[in-house]
Structure 1
């Protein structure tokens, strides 16, 4: 194999690998943002008072 062709092939492989890593980092960052947003929304839901009927749901009837 010619040295010039081998050099070009190695450089192309390196560029492809860098592009792949860049896309993977973008996807991971997007996933972190979505996870943080979901956790924030869940935290807000827990702060909502659910005491409209505090007497409901306190007992379970498990007679057969």
Structure 2
């Protein structure tokens, strides 16, 4: 068994895992910011109460 090679491989795997976690954290932060911005845009949209309740049909 090659101990130095095994140690190097385990270290690289740990680094890869840490990078994956860091990237996932950034993705989640971006998704939260995007969803918050979308919620603010939806709240700011003008809604007219009663719009579309009545339809005038001329025969």
TM-score, length of structure 2 as denominator length: 0.79
Partner of residue 21, structure 2: 21
Structure 1: which 5+ runs fail to align? none
Partner of residue 35, structure 2: 35
Secondary structure at the aligned position of 2:48 is classed as coil
Structure 2: which 5+ runs fail to align? none
TM-score, length of structure 1 as denominator length: 0.73
